[in-house]
Amino acid sequence: MTKVTRGQGQDGVPARHRAEVDWNRGADGPQASALPPVIPPTRALLGNLPVQAEGLILDLACGVGSPAFEAARQNPEARVLGVDRADKLIDTARALAAAHAIGNADFEVMSLDALALPNESVDAAISQFGFLNEGDLAVSVKELCRVLKDGAPFSVATWDVLELNTLFSTVAEVLRRHVPAELLPDFDYLNKLATPGLRERVLRQAGISTLHTEMFSWRVPMPSAAAVLAVVSAPVPFGRAWDSLADSEHENVKSELKQAAGEFRTADGTYIFPMACRLYWGSR
């Protein structure tokens, strides 16, 4: 979870130059007892996936089970397998599946760069903000193509440039004034991955035969300033930066964040953050 790479990756894909986020830090939160929410991008990416009456649906970098649980609900005759390299998130997803009696969803610890699955064993693949963001892009895409059956569909939602994620970009801009860059998520890397045509080229070179892509926009409502401030102190993705600050700096960051977020404050005191991601879907 702390691997750092430098320079260029395979096939000219940019490599990370800072430590990746330790997503296991987010295992002990509200998501430990409640199913992950079905947010607009979840509906959008599943809407681009042909209905799977049966077979295996693979959720790449599933976290605590989104969009795996919704795919399992929509496709009760299919088996959904969620994989993630963060073992604590997988433990949480398994506990949620058991607690909510979701019998057609299983979860395994697995890296996107080395899927422990046979060739051409997957009937469909999905991912929400994991695949095409995490791991080695070229390697993980080749792994997807290896495990997909010939003609099998996939559908993913992935972050584009940071400025389109106004909630995280607002928090990051404030934190940059208080912490070293290496304590923040490697947003420069994600921005480079969003270079127009880069992901499409890697997908096609790996063996994706049919490919579509479009931007998808939605809005994230926050009920209060306290809810906005909770983002900066949450375990991920800004937990390392937040934990490095003294208590006095915590108050300064909160004050600056509240002021910066004022741009998104509505007349009734709530906050609305415009968001956008990129959808990719098609088939092998």
What pLDDT sits at residue 269?
93
- The superfamily in CATH containing domain 10-161+184-218+276-283 is Vaccinia Virus protein VP39 (3.40.50.150)
SS3 237: coil
Burial 265-284 (b: 16+ CB within 10 A, else e): beeeeebebebbbbbbbbbb
Q: Find out whether 72 and 78 touch, Cβ atoms under 8 Å.
A: yes
Residue 1 has pLDDT above 60, yes or no: no
CA distance 282 to 223: 37
CA distance 196 to 257: 31
CA distance 247 to 38: 35
SS3 148: strand
What pLDDT sits at residue 7?
47
What pLDDT sits at residue 46?
97
Percentage of residues in the chain having pLDDT higher than 70: 91
Distances (CA, A) of 284 to 39, 148, 281: 27, 7, 10
User: How much is the average pLDDT of 75-96?
Assistant: 95
Every domain of the chain and the residues it spans: 10-161+184-218+276-283
What does the pLDDT look like over 130-166, one tens digit per residue? Answer: 999 988 999 999 999 999 999 999 999 999 999 999 9
CA distance 264 to 167: 9
What does the pLDDT look like over 100-137, one tens digit per residue? Answer: 999 999 999 999 999 999 999 999 999 999 999 988 99
SS3 272: strand
What does the pLDDT look like over 21-63, one tens digit per residue? Answer: 777 776 765 556 688 899 999 999 999 998 777 899 999 999 9
Q: Find out whether 147 and 121 touch, Cβ atoms under 8 Å.
A: yes
Residue 11 has pLDDT above 70, yes or no: no
Q: Which residue has the tokens 């790479």?
A: 5
What pLDDT sits at residue 22?
78
